[in-house]
Structure 1
């Protein structure tokens, strides 16, 4: 089994990485950063997201394992004090895994008509820099509404516990391969009207956002997970449930609702 350990820059994470490297080397594991079978992330969900994007072209070959050195995260099953237990689990690996759905993001440019493709684990959002964003929103190819406001966010089920939740979205179990579309500060009055509610989109449908008057020089901020792209060249963005998935090694997988409870409710008083 080929292993890569992907850690953030904190002193605690780097110390845990060194411990893991020594324990795995003593047990004759192979380290391979180019073509690993398992990527162990040490840090938090942000570290896992960085590792995901680093290896996003190899997702069908890799399983991830998360070790958290801070607050409990949705993608990290192991605490920093459980390294020995993790090593034992790696030694007895039976290739079991759990998978989560991903989000395809296709951005059509206005000037050259090229399509730029991105992949998101959590969510993607589009905002206007400065003035209000005005965009037509299509679902499954049919015009749904003309949106006016700060922006729009499309989230995966695992991403539903992040930015989408802060926008009033529902928490969606990752067994449901759906998208969630949420508005960011929409304008609603007698003149302008939107649905003003998050929408759960079927995996058979897709969401297309087309800025109104794309010929004008409009500034947009496109976010894909924790990556940000400033652009003035957006004709439309299409979101769809990806055919790709991300896989996590199922040694001691913490159930989704337990993660939700631990993160937002905590222990009962």
Structure 2
């Protein structure tokens, strides 16, 4: 089995990575950072997000395993004091995995017709730099509304527990390969009206956001997970459920609702 260890820059994560390197080498695992079969992340959910984007072009051949050095995250199943147990699981690996849906993001530019593609594990948002954003929102090719406000966010089911939740979105189980569209501070009065509610979008549909009343040189801010892009001359941004998925090694994968409870509710009083 070919393994890569992807750690953040903290002192604690570096120490755990060193332990893993030593113990895995003693058991004759192969280290391969270019074409791994298992990627072990050491840190937190942010570290796993970084690893996901680093290996985005190899997702069909990789399973991820997360070791957390802080509090339990949504993508990290193992504590830093369970390294020996993790190695035993790696030795008895049966190639089982659990998979989560991803988000395709396509940005089309007005003057060149060029299309820039991105892939998101959690969410993507579109905002105007400065004044409020005005945009026509299409669902499945049909005009749904003309939005005015700070911006719009499209999230995956696993991303529904993050920024989307803070916008009033529902928490969606990742077995449902859907998108969730949420408004960011929409303007609603006698002149401007929006649905003012998060929407769950079928995997057979897609969301297209077409900014209006923008000068060619005016910038929009596109976010894809933790990355930010300032872009001018955007004609439209389209979102759909990706054909790709992210895969996690299913050794003792913590159930989704247990993760939600641990993160937001904690132990019962």
The reply on whether 1:166 has 2:169 as its aligned counterpart is no
Following the alignment from structure 1 to structure 2, what is the Cα–Cα distance between the partners of residues 76 and 198? 28
Shift of 1:110: 1.3
Q: Tell me the secondary structure at the aligned position of residue 81 of structure 1.
A: coil
Shift of 1:214: 4.5
Instruction: Find the counterpart in structure 1 of residue 188 from structure 2.
Output: 188
Instruction: Find the counterpart in structure 2 of residue 144 from structure 1.
Output: 144
Instruction: Find the counterpart in structure 1 of residue 40 from structure 2.
Output: 40
Following the alignment from structure 1 to structure 2, what is the Cα–Cα distance between the partners of residues 155 and 69? 26
The reply on whether 1:217 has 2:217 as its aligned counterpart is yes
Write the mapping of 1:1-269 to structure 2, written as runs, cut at 5 A: 1-269=1-269
The Cα offsets for residues 202-239 of structure 1, whole Å up to 9 and x where unpaired, read as: 00000000001345432211000001101112100000
Q: Tell me the secondary structure at the aligned position of residue 52 of structure 1.
A: helix
Following the alignment from structure 2 to structure 1, what is the Cα–Cα distance between the partners of residues 88 and 123? 34
Shift of 1:199: 0.1
Q: Tell me the secondary structure at the aligned position of residue 90 of structure 1.
A: helix
**Unpaired runs of 5+ in structure 1?**
none
Contact 2:216 2:233 in 1 (8 A): no
Contact 2:207 2:239 in 1 (8 A): yes
Size of the aligned set, in residue pairs, is: 269
Following the alignment from structure 2 to structure 1, what is the Cα–Cα distance between the partners of residues 121 and 37? 19
Q: Tell me the secondary structure at the aligned position of residue 234 of structure 2.
A: coil
Contact 1:101 1:245 in 2 (8 A): yes
The Cα offsets for residues 102-131 of structure 1, whole Å up to 9 and x where unpaired, read as: 000000011211010000000000010100
Q: Tell me the secondary structure at the aligned position of residue 251 of structure 1.
A: coil
Following the alignment from structure 1 to structure 2, what is the Cα–Cα distance between the partners of residues 101 and 245? 5
Contact 1:214 1:235 in 2 (8 A): no
The Cα offsets for residues 123-166 of structure 1, whole Å up to 9 and x where unpaired, read as: 00001010010000000000000000000000000000000000
Q: Which 10-residue stretch deviates more, 148-157 or 208-217?
A: 208-217
Using structure 1 for the length normalisation, give the TM-score: 0.99
Following the alignment from structure 1 to structure 2, what is the Cα–Cα distance between the partners of residues 131 and 46? 30
Shift of 1:57: 0.2
